[in-house]
Amino acid sequence: MAAQSITEDSLKEKIRETLKATHVEVTDMSGGCGQAFTSTIVSPEFAGKNSLKRHRLVNAALKDEIAVIHAWSAKCQTPEEWDKEKAATGGHDGPPLDGTVGGHVQGTTA
């Protein structure tokens, strides 16, 4: 994977394939240079697993990609948790953008 650039789309595709995700949002927080990503991943594979086990599944699935990027964060939910949160938030379905300015890490360009 190191010879290939890592993009939002390449990460989404890998997550969908390996984790049978029903919903995936990935945002490049580095202004397009592919070094910092945040995500929301909804998968039935997370059922019955605590947060640590969910993140370990994601990290194992993206082992090669995570090794070459600077920052990665994932919000991992089951489809039921996702539906419940969407109902509570009025349908917001993007990844968390906490600590950003306009959806980008401060100091980057986009």
- pLDDT tens by residue, 38-95: 999 999 999 999 999 999 999 999 999 999 999 999 999 999 999 998 888 776 555 5
Is residue 71 a part of any domain in this protein?
yes
> 70: domain range?
8-80
Distances (CA, A) of 84 to 19, 42, 56, 65, 93: 21, 12, 23, 30, 12
Judge whether 40 and 22 are in contact, CB under 8 Å. no
What does the pLDDT average to over 15-34?
93
pLDDT for 63 = 96
Is residue 106 a part of any domain in this protein?
no
CATH number, residue 66: 3.30.300.90
Is residue 37 a part of any domain in this protein?
yes
> pTM of this prediction?
0.77
Judge whether 105 and 28 are in contact, CB under 8 Å. no
- DSSP annotation of 93: -
Q: How confident is the model at residue 108 (pLDDT cuts 50, 70, 90)?
A: low
- DSSP annotation of 86: H
- Cα–Cα distance measured from residue 56 to residue 81, given in angstroms and rounded to the nearest whole number: 19
